[in-house]
Amino acid sequence: MGRKKKGNIHYGHIIYRNLKRRISRTFLLSAFLFFMVFMIFSFTSILNSMREGLDSTVKRTGADILLVPKDYFSSVKDALFLGIPSTVYFDSSLEEKVAKEEGVEKVSSQMFLATIYNSPCCDEAVQIIAYHPESDFLIQPWIEKQLKREIPDGEIVAGSKLSYKKGDTAMFFGKKFPVAGKLKETGMGYDNTVFLNFNTAEELLKEPVVKNYLAIGNKKEVVSLITVKVDKKADIQKVVRALQDKYEKDNVSIETSGKLMEDTRHALKQYTTYFTFVEIILVAFTFESLLSFFIITMSERKKEYGIIKSLGGSTFKILSITIGEAAAIGIIGSLAGSFLSILILTLFRNFILLHLKLPYLRQSFSDLMLLTVFCTGLSVLTGVFAAILSSAAIQRKETYTLIRENE
């Protein structure tokens, strides 16, 4: 640290020498702040990723109303939000019926197929989603924006997390597919998904391994998800209720896209409440520990402070040394905690995604810097406040008393 000269006392040098001379104390105090910052940084990063993933899923789901088989509602949600492979299907004739209902502007359908894990017929376990480019208002605009065209028959498009790149060949259910392109990261289950059109899917359904393994049999007209866009003049809830009254008897779940993520949003609120409570406890525990250490340190250094006062140093200047030490310790602990948190979140990203069931774990450089600044500020303020409170007893004592008290 540079020297800050005031009178005959170099305060910056004194702070540096004090921290270096009491290296074990400096390390211990930094360790408290390091642990606090590490936990707060990690919790906040994970919560932000969950929130961004949820918002991205709701935004990209885009439909006003979703129709899925009643027993597979959670499977569809996991496929969209987490990219967990699942095979879901029901009779496609419902699509035409819904399109004729009052208040419905657009209708399209998708089909979900899960490839076979650890099988020679499939390169890897992924979610396959088939859709109709001509009627789809969710996937097609997004794919067309990136590829500048529709997916050709017999070809696929790969999500960002899959190992394929444009020009590769992928094999699913014993059938080979040229990869027409690779999509950018979305922060939802689409990143682990392979997309193809319904013409290609119908050819795939003819494969014996699909009929046998996925239990589709000879069914040709099947879908997994029907998406509905409601007319702007219509009331979405009224349309939902009308569809529920008419079609729920067919074992179909009819919900808004927000309902699809309701459980996940509720879980996110619970996580936020839990993490906030833990963070408050961490800050309180760290503050109490620092306060205790500074009180003990101030008592041990009474003679040192008395000598500084006898050389012309004021009580305020003595306090500035203590605050400077606390601030330096806070910066050391917070930067180390932030760095380790970023390192662990990067190195163990896939492990965290798998066990916490997150769609992605990513923050921009600016977000990381803002979080680092926040944690550093919190760490420094915690240390400085503890130092100020612990120095109250020193401020009231005379110079002679401070020099002689511990003898």
Higher-pLDDT residue of 302 and 121 is: 121
Of 101-110, 202-211, 341-350, 369-378, the poorest mean pLDDT is in 202-211
For residues 156 and 152, give the distance between their C-alpha atoms in angstroms, rounded to a whole number.
Answer: 8
Confidence of residue 403 (pLDDT cuts 50, 70, 90): very low
Instruction: Please answer whether residues 364 and 191 qualify as being in contact, where contact means their C-beta atoms are separated by less than 8 angstroms.
Output: no
For residues 183 and 122, give the distance between their C-alpha atoms in angstroms, rounded to a whole number.
Answer: 21
Q: For residue 363, count CB atoms less than 10 angstroms from its CB and return exposed for 0-12, middle for 13-18, buried for 19 or more.
A: middle
Of 86-90, 102-106, 232-236, 273-277, the poorest mean pLDDT is in 86-90
Instruction: Please answer whether residues 15 and 1 qualify as being in contact, where contact means their C-beta atoms are separated by less than 8 angstroms.
Output: yes
What's the pLDDT at 358?
A: 66
Rg (the chain; Cα; Å): 31
Q: What is the pLDDT of residues 190-211, one digit of tens each?
A: 888 899 998 998 888 887 777 6
Residues 184-190: what's their mean pLDDT?
Answer: 76
- Retrieve residue 227's tokens: 């998406």
Mean pLDDT (the chain, rounded): 79
Q: Examine the pLDDT at 393 and tell me if it is beyond 90.
A: no
Instruction: Please answer whether residues 387 and 326 qualify as being in contact, where contact means their C-beta atoms are separated by less than 8 angstroms.
Output: yes
- Residue linked to tokens 């500020």: 377
Instruction: Please answer whether residues 360 and 353 qualify as being in contact, where contact means their C-beta atoms are separated by less than 8 angstroms.
Output: yes
Instruction: Please answer whether residues 341 and 38 qualify as being in contact, where contact means their C-beta atoms are separated by less than 8 angstroms.
Output: yes
Quote the pTM value. 0.64
Residues 10-20: what's their mean pLDDT?
Answer: 74
Higher-pLDDT residue of 198 and 356 is: 198
Q: For residue 147, count CB atoms less than 10 angstroms from its CB and return exposed for 0-12, middle for 13-18, buried for 19 or more.
A: middle
Nearest partner of 120 among 175, 194, 159, 162, judged by Cα: 175
In this structure, what DSSP letter does residue 397 have?
S
Q: What is the pLDDT of residues 124-168, one digit of tens each?
A: 888 899 999 888 888 888 788 877 788 889 999 998 888 888 889
Instruction: Please answer whether residues 348 and 42 qualify as being in contact, where contact means their C-beta atoms are separated by less than 8 angstroms.
Output: no
Most confident range (mean pLDDT) of 138-152, 209-223, 350-364 is 138-152
Residues 373-400: what's their mean pLDDT?
Answer: 74
